[in-house]
Homo-oligomer: A and B are copies of this chain.
Amino acid sequence: MNSKIKFLKEQLKGLNLDGMIVSNPINISYLIGIDSSCEGILLITRKEVVYITDSRYIEAVNNVITIEDEIVVNDVRSVSKYDYENFFMFCENVGFEENYVTYSEYKKIMHTYKIHNLVETEKIIEKQRMIKTEEEVELTKKACEITDECFMYLLNFIEKGMTEKEIALEIRRYFMENGADDISFEPIVASGKNSSMPHAVPTDRKIEAGDIITIDFGCRYKGYCSDMTRTIFVDYVKEEYKKVYDLVLKNQQLTLKEYGEGKNSKVITNMVVNDFKVNGFDLVHGLGHGTGLEIHELPFVNSRVENILKENMIVTDEPGIYIPGHFGVRIEDTVLVGKGEGEPLTKSDKGYVVI
């Protein structure tokens, strides 16, 4: 049996669950290695693991799954009412994904399967996904490598007079033509005053001399996401920018040191919150988030929840300061949590980069 499903079955056992209905396509993609665009449902029963999908995907799925996976693939048209009622025949408690399944889908599950007790699983698979396997780390490293190369390319590409939108489009083009599957999210290119909005959408504003530009971007490689932000300067660096830049960078680097086994995400965040406060600024968003098959996944690093970091988690480190109506600075790496400290997987220059 494939090792991810084996691990999940152990977990289910510990929770006294005899089976699980997996509906979230990203969790299915994680467990059995198929593309997350496939539509289907994965049933983990006492006897077997069954993936039910429709004829559009059967061929693609059979190309990926091997005998060692021990997964039965069924065409939805060949599964009878009787089959559905029998999947969980001798199961007392069966888990489902209460954070993904809609209320009407929940009712359909209750109606379709004969399940004595349908149990909430509290993101059990999302939690399993937090700790990356060796292969997942390698794929993320590759996504980060392409992202670093894209940044190098952009430094030559960006010129005064270009619009933010043009630069954002070029990031997409670069990724598509240089080995990535896709962008991992819509790139943010925020120049001048626009950089003061953490979630700025690229506009028709043209790059000018003296500008500060925040570029937040990433790609997807074989499903796995990278996420990096660099704040760069055009022609020269204004003095007012330097003070803020230095403070953000200092905290970004301190945080890197904290991304080690056993560290508390809330404590790390509060360290940055306090240092910003002492200097008269606020941290208005989280300090980081997990990346993997999704660009935002568990664990989240902010001051609301306490998560304990573990080796081989992959988490962003992205402090930022935003001065409304003026400018903003954010510096972000995708980071592999280590035994002692974090290893940045994105490695682009974090000194003052002037183009």
**A173 contact set on B, CB distance < 8 A:** 169
Chain A, 104-152, CB within 8 A of any chain B CB: 104-107, 120
* Residue of chain B at shortest CB distance from A107: B98
A177 interface residue per 8 A CB criterion: yes
Kindly identify which residue among B98, B100, B165, B199 contacts A176, using a CB–CB cutoff of 8 Å. Answer: B165
Kindly identify which residue among B102, B177, B199 contacts A102, using a CB–CB cutoff of 8 Å. Answer: B102
CB distance from A328 to the nearest CB of B (A): 15
A310 interface residue per 8 A CB criterion: no
**A103 contact set on B, CB distance < 8 A:** 96, 98-99, 101-103, 105-106, 120
> Copies of this chain, how many?
2
* Residue of chain B at shortest CB distance from A163: B177
CB distance from A302 to the nearest CB of B (A): 14
Compute how far the CA of A107 lies from the CA of B100 in the bound complex, rounded to whole angstroms.
13
Of A103, A104, A199, the most chain B CB neighbours within 10 A belong to A103
CB distance from A30 to the nearest CB of B (A): 19
**A176 contact set on B, CB distance < 8 A:** 165, 169
CB distance from A37 to the nearest CB of B (A): 9
Assuming the A-B contacts A173-B169, A176-B169, A177-B165, are A102 and B104 also in contact, with contact meaning beta carbons closer than 8 angstroms in the complex?
no
**A56 contact set on B, CB distance < 8 A:** 199
A289 interface residue per 8 A CB criterion: no
A220 interface residue per 8 A CB criterion: no
CB distance from A294 to the nearest CB of B (A): 16
Kindly identify which residue among B96, B100, B102, B165 contacts A100, using a CB–CB cutoff of 8 Å. Answer: B102
Of A102, A120, A165, A199, the most chain B CB neighbours within 10 A belong to A102
A230 interface residue per 8 A CB criterion: no
